[in-house]
Amino acid sequence: MIDDRTVEHVARLARLALSDEERARMREQLGRILTYIDALRALPVDDVEPTTHVVPLVNVMREDVVEPSLPREAMMANAPDPRGEFFRVPRILED
């Protein structure tokens, strides 16, 4: 069963800041959903191939042709903190 530490670990992996209340609710709800999902253990699947994709497609190829892409200004227009042609973010590297 899922405990507070697991919820905290998964929230960190998922980059989700959870409040204490959210964490408690998440533990309870994920626990019940996973209990339901555990029904899958009843099925013998050892010799079954996994399905990753339902359409039998292999290597969809096209010619390597240079084409215009969307203009930079259009792509930057939705940025929350643009600086010229860059996306500004908090400092990543130390001096």
Partner 1 sequence: MADDLTRLTAHELVAAYARGEVTPSEVTRAYLERIDRLDGRLGAYLTVSREAALAEARAADARYRAGAPRGPLDGVPVALKDNLCTRGVRTTCASRILEGFVPPYDATVVERLRAAGAVLLGKTNLDEFAMGSSTEHSAFQPTRNPWDLARVPGGSSGGSAAAVAGGLAAAALGSDTGGSVRQPAAFCGVVGLKPTYGRVSRYGLVAFASSLDQIGPLTRDVRDCALVLGVIAGPDRRDATAVDAPVPDYLAELEAGVEGLRLGVPREYFAAGIDPEVERAVRAAVDVLAKLGAAVEEVSLPTTAYGIAVYYILAPAEASSNLARYDGVKYGLRVAGADVVEMASRTRAAGFGAEVKRRIMLGTYALSAGYYEAYYGRAQKVRTLVRRDFERAFAAVDLLVAPTTPNVAFRLGEKEDPLAMYLNDVFTVPTSLAGLPAISVPCGVSAAGLPIGLQLIGRPFDEARLLRAAWAYEQATPWRARRPELA
Name the site residues for partner 1 (rule: CB under 8 A).
2, 6-7, 9-18, 22, 26, 29-30, 32-34, 36-37, 39-41, 43, 45, 48-55, 57, 60, 62, 70, 74-75, 77-81, 87, 89-92
56 CB-contact burial (10 Å; exposed 0-12 / middle 13-18 / buried 19+): exposed
Distance in Å, CB of 93 to partner 1, minimum: 11
- Sign, CA dihedral 44-3-28-10, equals negative
The three-state secondary structure class of 82 is strand
Distance in Å, CB of 58 to partner 1, minimum: 11
